[in-house]
Structure 1
Amino acid sequence: MHDRHVGELLREWRRRCKLSQLDLALQVDISARHLSFVETGRSLPSRTMLLRLADHLRVPLRERNRLLVAAGYAPTFRQRPLEAPDLAAAREAIRQVLRGHEPYPALALDSRWNLVLANDAVEVFLEGVEPALLQPPVNMMRLGLHPGGFASRVENLAQVRAFLLPRLARQALQTGSAELSALHEELVAYGPPGELPPPDLAEVMLPIRLRHRGAVLCFFNTVTTFGAPFDITLEEIVIEAYFPGDARTAEHLRGLAAGVVNTESPGVCPRCGGTAGATSPRPAG
């Protein structure tokens, strides 16, 4: 990546967005001839033009820095560890979002699906997985699809794989990340050979049915990102919040938070068809 000239990188991003040179030139208000000269290396874009092109191509901040360096400019966007002192406010904001979602699971991930922060309720996913998979950095995509992770407890694993693996493949293609491509190849190998089943179009959103302590819980999740980040670390963080798909799951999670779990005869989840624990509590553990 670092050995390629900026025009070649821009052309690659333009093709990922499925734009012709004329389409992009019209959006950025330059001539298609000028853009052609930039892509072939006959002309060097100014810093302002390069950032404008990157904005229209929806290039992530990390990759915008690479474009700037390839063109001979200093990188603009900073990247600091989330533990950095000047990110204390952002770190506390993330923790507040995660704590506010309890007793339901919520976690913060970086762009490579590595766990950054989580609330206590995420233990429902981590319980019983192979210790090696919990060595940092904990990759939640691997944890969810690896046979030693919580994949063995997911009742609709084929449906979940059919949703997550194409999403990971698109992310690897859009970002050009070799690390994500390698992760995708690894996770594909864990499943049965052949094409993934098509998603169930009757579902409004993807349900996740997870066995936990004698119950089958039903979840759906949402993803939150920072609205206007100017830092690579913050741009790449996403918060995944899991919501109960039925009343029994909500009750089970409230019981876990209170130190009790529901274990008697399972009922049927009205949303996704799985079973969920009933109402008699016992001490957790």
Structure 2
Amino acid sequence: MSLYNWSSKKENPKAHTIKNTKHITIPDGLWVKCFDCGLLMYSKVLKRNLKVCPQCSYHFQTSSNERIEQLIDEGSWQPMDAHLISTDPLGFKDQKLYSQRLKDTARKTGLQDAVQTGLGKMHGHKICLGIMDFRFMGGSMGSVVGEKLTRLLEKATQEKLPAIILCASGGARMQEGMLSLMQMAKISSALEMHKKKNLLYLSVLTSPTTGGVTASFAMLGDLIIAEPKALIAFAGRRVIEQTIKEDLPENFQSSEYLFEHGFLDLIVPRTQLRSKLIQILSLHTSNK
């Protein structure tokens, strides 16, 4: 007789089951995948690198609050005109009322409109800073955006301070019609007064910068700076190609293409932007 009667025993399929297992839930947003190279990274690592992919240097979109943290000396930020909100002068309606869309977007983003403006310091240099936020209706330029940027530039002129505007916009806000287009001239006029006082204006183009913003204050900087691979355009590719009846290069609306053709002065990665702006401010101050 065999010592072990294998034939008389059958393996219990549940014998090796691990009991009392707990379901592990991974919080949303803990891991982020790069849109360009596909690298999977811990969200805190990405934030620590200013939302720039450490492998391929792809620049993720970032909020105006994050920009303030990245650029301004701690404790020096003084917001301006934060109380201004858009109205609905045309009673515009598409899929929903414009007035309701404004309320919904404000609730979602915590912003009153598509730009934050204020005074702050960069390594001790006092500046006037405007930061557009693409999360608020695609960074579109309505009456409030125009008014806040105009007041910012008037403050910079009055206080004899450099002005910096970080652009991120889909262009003029169609829900305000002609009123949104008037902001192009209003902001440009304020910039002209600032220029007449021999004051410095730096324009920083982030992705995307398009439409009426590109056609006005975004391209009026004493120095025009862009982030790498930023989409910078006035009209869409298809509209341009249909108008001029020609095929255009694949990258003709990228910051690299515009730099090669003289539309930009510098391309600066986000991780180096603060130090580069401080360098420019220092040179401007020492020159004066």
| Structure that is richer in helix per residue | 1
Please tell me the TM-score bracket, short chain as reference.
Answer: under 0.3
TM-score, L = length of structure 2: 0.27
TM-score, L = length of structure 1: 0.27
Higher RCO, 1 or 2 (CA under 8 Å, sep at least 6)? 1
